[in-house]
Amino acid sequence: MSRVPGWLGRLGAGLTEMSERLDERRAEVERETAPDPSVAPPVPSQPAAGPDPVAEAAVPPARRPAPAASGHRPDPAEAVPWGVRVAAEAGWRMLVLAGTLWILMRVISAIQLVVFAFVIALLVTALLQPTVARLTRRGVPRGPATALTAISGFVVIGLMGWFVTWQVMENIDTLSTQIQSGIDDLRDWLLKSPFHVTDKQINQIAKNLREAIGANADQITSAGLEGVQVIIETLTGILLVFFSTLFLLYDGKRIWEWFLRLVPAAARPGVAGAGPRAWRTLTAYVRGTVLVALIDAIFIGIGIYFLDVPMAVPLAVFIFLFSFIPLVGAVASGALAVIVALVTQGVFTAVMTLVVVLAVQQIEGHVLQPFILGRAVRVHPLAVVLTVAAGGMVAGIGGAVVAVPLVAVTNTVVGYLRQYSEELQRQKAAADEPVAQNAEDPAHQG
């Protein structure tokens, strides 16, 4: 045990001596390889190996590796994966767009009457503008042509409304008697039908209806009290539609030019080209829809007239008006005609009325609309269903009426702007190609 400390001491001394020799040898090597300060360093014939600047520029900034810095942590933005950064950039932009759209919808809902009046005026103008143009080409001054067309159009619409109201009021007593008799006949048919409906079940259904009406009596009364406000708003909307239509028919071109001045200069040529195409699409849609609705109303009206359904002409007018609501309007107007036939003439007449309605609507959907409306305003049925549903949820019947022409016009505008952008890119590429060729030509380099 006494020899161990001596052995450890000799080992430590040997290691110390070895370390000193290594230090001396390292110092000699450094002195031998050190450059002479009096001699200039040679210029390298080739650039030192390093990162390629062209390849480095091709890499997105967010994917470039962070510069090595000893003792420092990397930038947090550089540590986030590229996909997450792209999703975050797109996400906050979508939030801004959603907020802008929400604010716009709030503003529109606050002035809903004015917006709907102007949109309806646009639709009426699209319907009447060809008549004004025809009268102007025949030598009639634009002012009288506009006044004559607008007044005639609104007189026709007013006469239609008056005729429907007059027919309903004239036949209300007879209709109520027929409805009561039809209900009794329907009850007898249900009792004798193979559905095994009992008298007790029918009385229970009638009792439930009476209780539902009694429970909602306050709401019905309040709705009646609000009728005065509805009438005032309706009259205000009619006046706004009338005056807006007059100004759009008479001065629509200058109104469009004034609107173009509000558009930024860079986007003005594209908007100026998209506007006339959107107007042609709207005009074709409105005129085609009116023609299809008129054909539906005439043929369904003739069918229910020969089936002795009461108030065939007012029902035809309702069918014409409801046809402006795609899909939903046809179903609602057809169901109304079938219900009137059921409660007044019985089950057989109701079934025949349903056959007439379905036959006319099938001809309309597969023959009339593709032939009359054409490909210019064709919208996929799924888009029609979704837009009508969304428009009805947002703004009721008015929103459902406006939804489809809005989608058709938007489709036209977006398609034209896409083609316009592609054409600009092709023109720019064609203009840059001669410049690039001249730059590569040795004759131009001298």
Query: Per-residue pLDDT tens for 205-263?
Result: 766 766 665 665 555 555 554 556 777 777 888 888 888 888 888 888 888 888 888 88
Q: pLDDT exceeding 90 applies to what percent of the chain?
A: 1
* pLDDT surpassing 70 at residue 47: no
| Vertex 101: Cα angle to 98 and 107 (nearest 5) | 145
Top pLDDT among 340 and 193 is at: 340
Phi, psi of 51 (to 5 degrees): -70, 140
Torsion of CA 114, 120, 125, 126, to 10 degrees: 140
What per-residue confidence (pLDDT) applies to 2? Answer: 47
**What is the per-residue pLDDT across 264-311, written as a single tens digit (0 to 9) for each?**
888 888 888 888 888 888 888 888 888 888 888 888 888 888 888 877
**Cα 169 to Cα 384: distance, rounded to the nearest angstrom:** 36
pLDDT band at 12 (very low <50, low <70, confident <90, very high): low
**What is the per-residue pLDDT across 116-138, written as a single tens digit (0 to 9) for each?**
888 888 888 888 888 888 888 88
Of the candidates 307, 337, 292, 322, the residue with the CA atom closest to the CA atom of residue 400: 322
What per-residue confidence (pLDDT) applies to 34? Answer: 58
**What is the per-residue pLDDT across 432-446, written as a single tens digit (0 to 9) for each?**
776 556 656 555 555
What per-residue confidence (pLDDT) applies to 336? Answer: 84
Of the candidates 240, 245, 288, the residue with the CA atom closest to the CA atom of residue 151: 245
Other Cβ atoms less than 10 A from the Cβ of 245: the count is 26
**Cα 148 to Cα 154: distance, rounded to the nearest angstrom:** 10
Mean pLDDT over residues 25-35, rounded?
66
Torsion of CA 124, 125, 128, 134, to 10 degrees: -170
| Vertex 205: Cα angle to 356 and 357 (nearest 5) | 5
Cβ burial, residue 427 (10 Å; 0-12/13-18/19+): exposed
Other Cβ atoms less than 10 A from the Cβ of 329: the count is 22
Residue given tokens 């990162």 in the structure block: 51
Of the candidates 185, 199, 179, 198, the residue with the CA atom closest to the CA atom of residue 348: 185
The reported pTM is 0.65
**Cα 268 to Cα 275: distance, rounded to the nearest angstrom:** 11
* pLDDT surpassing 60 at residue 38: no
Question: What are the CA-CA distances from residue 198 to residues 96, 204, 210, 211, 347 (Å)?
Answer: 61, 10, 19, 20, 18
Tokens of 279: 């107007």
- R_g over Cα of the chain: 41
Contact by Cβ (8 Å): 186, 192:
no
pLDDT band at 32 (very low <50, low <70, confident <90, very high): low
What per-residue confidence (pLDDT) applies to 385? Answer: 76
pLDDT band at 3 (very low <50, low <70, confident <90, very high): low
What per-residue confidence (pLDDT) applies to 95? Answer: 92
Residue given tokens 């040795």 in the structure block: 442
Other Cβ atoms less than 10 A from the Cβ of 260: the count is 14
What per-residue confidence (pLDDT) applies to 273? Answer: 87
Top pLDDT among 370 and 281 is at: 281
Question: What are the CA-CA distances from residue 278 to residues 270, 349, 377, 411 (Å)?
Answer: 12, 45, 10, 9
From first CA to last CA, the distance across the chain in angstroms is: 94
